[in-house]
Structure 1
Amino acid sequence: MNIGCPHCQVWLAVPATEAGQTFACPKCGGHFLVPIPQARTFGGGLGEHPDYHEFTGKKIAAGVCGILLGAFGVHKFILGLNQSGSIMLAVTIGGIILGGCLIVPVLATLAMSAVGVIEGILYMTKSNDDFYETYAVKKKEWF
């Protein structure tokens, strides 16, 4: 089982036999109770983290889409960050529609493009562990 130490936030591989027992973090020495895993149901439970290998497999696709299609929020939708993806899509479409008559929507669309490029580069330069912890576990929406 992968469990985050509540004291130092390091992810630890804890044997399943330790479930329900007190465990000492090898990094900080803090003690915490190892949770007993719940039975999994079809489709998973609320708040459950996605599979590590499945999620990190999306890293390159999300990075490339962030660089090429970032203004439309495609990279956000790939990672399941639908709220921020919808915001990027709405701002970009609004900027395209209103861009002919106002300068501010054009700047907003360019800003969304810049955000997409920056996030795409960040996705591809993070290690798989950092990528998983940041975007699957912590669900960080921006940058």
Structure 2
Amino acid sequence: MAIAFAYLLIGTIMLALDLTGIISIKHDPIFILELYGFVTMMIFGLSYIFAPGLSHATFANYKSVAVELAAINIGIILLFLSMIGLFGSAVHVLLPFGLALLFLAILIHVANIWHIMASGKSIKPVVQKKEPPQAQNGVQSNGKNL
């Protein structure tokens, strides 16, 4: 989650610098940093916190989470770099590669959450045994006197 707040901080600083005229950059790449960097990372992080608790399961495979984290971070950075236009014709390579990495990270995340939810212990409802009604006042349940 610290990475998400780092993206929020970087995006906010860049937006402030752009609005004051210190740097000249389009707003779209900054919003990509804040949307994918902050919002998506928060959603991914919170789902990894809540999914094991809700499904009574263990955590996902740490290696796949590390691959997902690397893919989404590299994808966000490549998407940002392709949108600011510093690399000229390399944009045609950076943009699809960044989008592919973001898509890969989403697929890994869905697979991890699916695995967490599927491996959880289902809680079985407690079924109470019904006891036959007891005789009251000397009368059985079928209406005959004892």
Q: TM-score, normalised by structure 2?
A: 0.27
The structure with the largest alpha-carbon Rg is 2
The structure in which a higher percent of residues are strand is 1
Q: TM-score, normalised by structure 1?
A: 0.27
Higher relative contact order (CA 8 A, sep 6+): 2
